[in-house]
Amino acid sequence: MADTTGSPPRATGITEILTKKTSRDEVKLSSAARSISPPPTIRSKAEGATSEKPSSAITPSPAHNPAQLPPRKVRKEPLNPRMLPKSPANHSVRSAILDKLFSTMTSLNEKLIKEKSPTNKCFVLTRDELVTMALDEEEKVAKDNGGLYSNVIKLRIVKLTKMTLDEWTKDVMAHLNARYYKIDSSSSSSPPTSKSIKTGLTVNEEVAVVSALVTPLHGLEEFGYVTRAPTDSDLEIAKKGVAESKGWEKCDRCGGRFQVFPGRREDGALASGGECTYHPDRPIHPPRKRTDNVTGSSESYFPCCGESLGASPGCTKSTTHVFKVSEPKRLASILQFKPTPVQPEKGIMQPVCMDCEMGYTTLGLEMIRLTAVSWPEGHDLLDVLVKPMGEVLDLNSRFSGVFPEHYASATPYGTAVPNANPTEQSKPPLQFVESPAAARELLFGIIQPETPLIGHAIDNDLNVCRIIHPTVIDTVLLYPHPRGRLPYRLGLKALARKFLEREIQTGGDRGHDSKEDSLATGDLVRVKVGEAWNRLKGKGWRIENQSLVPPPGQRPQDAQQTALGFGPGVGQKRKNSTSTG
């Protein structure tokens, strides 16, 4: 238990041994006065060669080990939510949530006590310290998240209930350092690193092998991939349908019906229907187990709040309803699709990873940010904000990471950043282009039709850009869902955690980072490149002049089936399918 009395901290076992006085200390040894010659400088072989992995235990530096710092002076506080100028919820709601948070932390603390580990002894908290930790955390969430308070704090409680003791001690360490010792632990420890990807190939060789991972999109149209531009007659049909619907749409969040008013209604409104109550995350359906017929199957739930499916209409409120357009001919009636142009003067161009962030407007879900990086190096190629064609209903900031202040500080594309300071740590403001069509032209400037365009669920990115591209690598197809291939899809976050040992999309209510997503997608492809090359090499394929050369009896077009171990086909579509991750 932590000492709160102000007395010096209890000595550890090693400290007791070093400071304890024995009878031998009273004896004066003659060898104590003898001069000491330095030992030979040649180290033994055993000293320099070790196969042990670095210990994962917390290093005993002052920033990491509270036991080496002065005793903590804990202020006694009641388990009552702290007063805030603008509370995100009433007192009874905050109090109930705080009680649950405190009991969850207490449970973890008791597990730490029962473990009786000398290493983690300094992380055992007193009741007053637990109260302070719970109050600090609840107050921070209440201040930082506003309308998302209930959602975020419930997610935190769910995470605590599933937390291991190692994760709990790290949380306690960070709290103690920040609360009592005012030490920034991030300055004294290296940031977490992801799995190192080693393909055994050069950059040019990786580019040669990645051609075997290209997926033909013909046959995937029913899953959202557009392979031809809708005709003029298709556009007329779409426009007629929109006119006859008189702006009535289905909300993409709550499923309710509402009316949208492009150009605004006479009273200035953009949409009808008032507030929207919804769950921001898709439901998770736990996998079936053999024991379900005895124990019962696990309930489907929403990860945003932990509520069971159907328990409530939602955990989050928005000021307006929103909608999404998916039908290609209706998308084309707003902005027509365009094939990637051939640019002979530019020659062969390097593969590109792309990611688009999207927001809701009076015309549906539109592109508001476009990011592209080179593959496999991950160098910046393009990163711009995009002015949508419709009036903005919701920037979808929780996922897009784009906020009104980004547009307010953005400068036109191609202009110099005013007063740029190269030593400044903050990111420079993004630049913007005037329309999705302008952003599309910028992307066309760095790709050819045969350039591998890499993305996760890239059909969404291509459709908001209105691009028809024949050479696509989609990590959704490279990493099929355990339940089968399309329409089931694994999320990028889950794939990065499993195959890259990397945590992405951790910004919470600050949203995603399209560059981070692009880099993660590219690295997932590199993992598959390494696996593909091992298969190809085992079958006699080789690389010559930056191209894959098949063994006798095989054709270059056989590379994909050999590299992936299966054909490019997809599974049968199931009813009521839901994307996961």
Q: Is the pLDDT of residue 144 over 60?
A: yes
SS3 state of residue 359 = strand
**According to the per-residue pLDDT averaged within each range, which of 4-18, 172-186, 377-391 is highest?**
377-391
Across residues 174-201, what is the average pLDDT?
A: 67
What is the share, in percent, of the chain residues with pLDDT greater than 70?
A: 81
Tell me how far apart the alpha carbons of residues 499 and 419 are, in angstroms, rounded to a whole number.
41
Query: How many Å apart are CA 145 and CA 143, to the nearest integer?
Result: 6
H-run or E-run covering 514: helix 514-538
In the prediction, which pLDDT does 31 show? 44
Q: What is the mean pLDDT of residues 155-175?
A: 89
pLDDT in tens, 219-264: 999 999 999 999 999 999 999 999 999 999 999 999 999 999 999 9
Cα 572 off chain centre by:
29
Cβ atoms of 97 and 150 within 8 Å: the answer is yes
pLDDT at 566: 56
Q: What pTM was computed for the model?
A: 0.68
End-to-end CA distance of the chain: 40
Distances, alpha carbon 320 to alpha carbons 252, 302, 395, 407, in Å:
11, 21, 12, 21
Could you tell me which residue, 393 or 186, shows the higher pLDDT? 393
Percentage of the chain beyond pLDDT 90 is: 57
pLDDT per residue as tens digits for the range 313-361: 998 999 999 999 999 999 999 999 999 999 999 999 999 999 999 999 9
**Count of H-run helices and E-run strands, the chain:** 19, 16
What three-state secondary structure class fits 91? helix
pLDDT of residue 281: 87
Split at pLDDT 50, 70, 90, the class of 33 is: very low
Q: Is the pLDDT of residue 409 over 50?
A: yes
Which pLDDT value is given to residue 123?
A: 85
Mean pLDDT computed over 368-381:
97
Question: Do the Cβ atoms of 138 and 81 come closer than 8 Å?
Answer: yes
Q: Among 67-76, 284-293, 505-514, which is the least confidently predicted range?
A: 67-76
For range 127-138, the mean pLDDT: 93
Mean pLDDT of 98-112: 94
Residue-level pLDDT at 576: 39
**Predicted pLDDT of residue 6:** 44
Rounded Cα gap, residues 58 and 166, in angstroms: 10
Q: Any bridge partners for residue 301, and if so which?
A: 284, 308
Task: Convert the pLDDT of each residue in 10-19 to its tens digit.
Answer: 344 433 433 3
Tell the burial category of 464 from Cβ atoms under 10 Å away from its Cβ (0-12, 13-18, 19+): buried
pLDDT at 24 (0 to 100): 38
What are the percentages of helix, strand and coil residues in the chain, rounded to 5? Answer: 40, 10, 50
| Distance of alpha carbon 437 from the chain centroid | 28
Instruction: Render 13-46 in DSSP notation, one character per residue.
Output: HHHHHHH---GGGGS--GGGGS--PPPPSPPPHH
Q: Is the pLDDT of residue 182 over 50?
A: yes
Which among 427, 390, 393, 395 has a CA at the least distance from the CA of 410? 427
- Mean of per-residue pLDDT scores for the chain: 83
β-pair partners for 468: 339
183-197, 368-382, 458-472: least confidently modelled range: 183-197
List the Cα angle 204/206/212 in 5-degree steps: 120
Alpha helices in 190-349 (DSSP H): 203-210, 232-245, 292-295, 328-334
- Position 51 confidence tier, pLDDT thresholds 50, 70, 90: very low
- Measured in degrees and rounded to the nearest 5, phi and psi for residue 27 equal -90, 130
Whole-number Å distance between alpha carbons of 65 and 4: 17
What phi, psi does 568 have (nearest 5°)?
-80, 5
- The segment with the largest mean pLDDT, out of 116-120, 228-232, 485-489, is 228-232
Asked if residue 101 lies in contact with residue 132, where contact means CB atoms within 8 angstroms, the answer is no
Cα 377 from Cα 382, distance rounded (Å):
14
Spatial separation of the C-alpha atoms in residues 387 and 171, rounded to whole Å: 41
In Å, the largest CA–CA distance within the chain is 107
* Pairing between β-strand 338-339 and β-strand 547-549 as defined by DSSP bridges: unpaired
Q: How far is CA 135 from the centre of its chain?
A: 28
Most confident of 151-155, 281-285, 403-407: 403-407
Burial of 286 (0-12, 13-18, 19+ CB in 10 A): exposed
Q: What average pLDDT does the segment 38-57 reach?
A: 39
CA distance 260 to 363: 9
Question: Looking at 21-25, 45-49, 127-131, 334-338, which range is the least confident one?
Answer: 45-49
Q: Is the pLDDT of residue 565 over 80?
A: no
Q: How confident is the model at residue 420 (pLDDT cuts 50, 70, 90)?
A: low
CB 518, CB 504: distance < 8 Å: no
Residues 6 or more apart whose CB falls under 8 angstroms from that of 508 comprise 145, 152
Where do we find the tokens 């309308």? 147
Looking at per-residue pLDDT, the higher value among 347 and 176 belongs to 347
Which of the residue ranges 67-71, 408-412, 445-449 would you say has the lowest mean pLDDT?
67-71
> Quick one: CA dihedral 21, 22, 23, 26, positive or negative?
negative
